[in-house]
Amino acid sequence: MSLKLGVIGTGAIGQDHIRRCSQALLGSQVVAVTDINLESAAKVVGDLGLGAEVYPDGRALIQAAEVEAVLVTSWGPSHEEFVLAAIAAGKPVFCEKPLAVTAAGCRRIVEAEIAHGKRLVQVGFMRPYDAGYQALKAVIDSGRIGEPLMLHCAHRNPRVGENYKTDMAITDTLIHELDVLRWLLADDYVSVQVLFPRKTSKALAHLRDPQIVLLETARGTRIDVEVFVNCQYGYDIQCEVVGESGIARLPEPSQVQLRSEAKLSNAILMDWKERFIAAYDVELQAFIDGVRAGQVGGPSAWDGFAAAVAADACIEAQNSGQIVRIELPQRPGFYA
Ligand code: NAI
Ligand code: ISE
């Protein structure tokens, strides 16, 4: 029997996840959708030829008897409410990043899940499922480059819309590094500072872009992440780990190498949908399989909370220009 999914939010990633759950992955069926724009939800159902019902809102969808598990793909500020409602209904929930827009919101989810007594939440941090990051982690864990001392990373988007604000460089964009680097190093952050280089003329007046985020981990590893969301040329994710005896780099996504017109070239992808297409497939298949086996795994509500604690400190550092401490409470045994 297929797992019956309800999807809240039929925008860019919602449509993408609906398509993959109903056409590409095994063992699930989208039976319910909703969006604050009900017309757009109905259009997605029609365009994808789904036999899904359109519910008036997220709460009604979560309560519906036919919905066995929930995907939350609406805007970040609405995530907390829907994840808490799914936990209250005892239904497994896959929530796109961020789990909630503040650490306090994530903490409420952690507490509700612990009170429920069993894991129900998987956060949509897909990078730990990316084959490149997994290969990089395998090299680090093998000891071949020794202990990691420094990481040089970049998160570049070609451009962003006018609703994108300076703090979203943290909550919407850097949040992926805040999760994946903690996983890569099996270490937690202890401090952060944010620097603003010369501003690009390609960014709108209200947005400070690019930014450099300097993180330090408990073991003393130093990380610099360039966040540059109007870089124009492509969607480019870089991660170089400098160890005691060698350097390991995140592999480039595989592309045909071209020798043509006196040039040797490789295309650069232009958006996240293509760059992480396989990772999204694997993370959602893991959610579906986990729910069907009665065992939700993957990035947990605690991981969502840990990233949000660091994100809150990054925003304080953006505003103050100072080095800000990152204090993550002790991880509860529930998430061991
Ligand atoms: P979007 O703006 O294209 O779509 C969001 C949809 O949610 C819109 O259709 C909007 O009407 C709907 N919505 C907002 N509030 C709602 C509510 N209270 N109830 C029902 N529907 C509601 O945004 P996009 O790019 O699809 O992003 C959605 C979420 O996915 C965000 O949290 C974003 O950070 C995350 N995301 C994750 C990515 C990843 O790489 N893992 C990539 C892109 C987005
Ligand atoms: C978007 O929401 C994502 O999650 C993408 O992965 C990220 O690169 C982009 O900056 C965000 O706006």
Q: How far is ligand 1, taken at its centre, from the CA of residue 78, in Å?
A: 9
Cα diameter, the chain:
64
Q: H/E element holding 179?
A: helix 175-185
Q: Which ligand is nearest to the CA of 159?
A: 2
128-266 and 3-125+278-306 share a CATH fold: no
- In this predicted structure, what is the pLDDT of residue 1? 82
- Cβ–ligand 2 distance for 73 under 6 Å, the answer no
pLDDT tens, residue by residue, 296-326: 999 999 999 999 999 999 999 999 999 999 9
φ, ψ for residue 257, nearest 5 deg: -90, 135
Structure tokens at 227: 């966040």
Domain 128-266 architecture:
2-Layer Sandwich (3.30)
User: Which protein residues are within 6 Å of ligand 1, measured from CB?
Assistant: 8-14, 34-37, 40, 58, 73-76, 78, 96-97, 124, 126, 172, 272
User: Which atom, in ligand 2's list, is nearest to the CA of 13?
Assistant: 2
Q: How far is ligand 2, taken at its centre, from the CA of residue 269, in Å?
A: 14
- In this predicted structure, what is the pLDDT of residue 255? 87
Kindly report the number of other CB atoms within 10 A of residue 234's CB atom.
14
CB of 197 within 8 A of CB of 210? yes
Kindly report the number of other CB atoms within 10 A of residue 64's CB atom.
19
CA distance 51 to 288: 19
CB of 278 within 8 A of CB of 285? no
Domain boundaries, the chain: 3-125+278-306, 128-266
CA distance 170 to 151: 18
Kindly report the number of other CB atoms within 10 A of residue 316's CB atom.
15
Question: CATH classification of 3-125+278-306 is 3.40.50.720, yes or no?
Answer: yes
**What type of residue sits at position 145?**
I
CA distance 167 to 314: 9
CB of 279 within 8 A of CB of 268? no
161-164 long-range contacts (CB < 8 A, ≥24 apart) are: 162/204, 164/207, 164/229
Mutate to test the pocket of ligand 1, among 59, 73, 176 (most ligand atoms within 8 A of CB): 73
Q: Locate tokens 């949040």: which residue? A: 175
- In this predicted structure, what is the pLDDT of residue 154? 98
φ, ψ for residue 253, nearest 5 deg: -60, 145
User: Which atom, in ligand 2's list, is nearest to the CA of 169?
Assistant: 10
pLDDT under 70 in the chain at which residues? Answer: none
Q: Which residues pair with 259 in a beta bridge?
A: 264
CB of 27 within 8 A of CB of 289? yes
Alpha-carbon Rg for the chain in angstroms: 20
Q: How far is ligand 1, taken at its centre, from the CA of residue 9, in Å?
A: 6
CA distance 165 to 266: 32
pLDDT tens, residue by residue, 80-107: 999 999 999 999 999 999 999 999 999 9
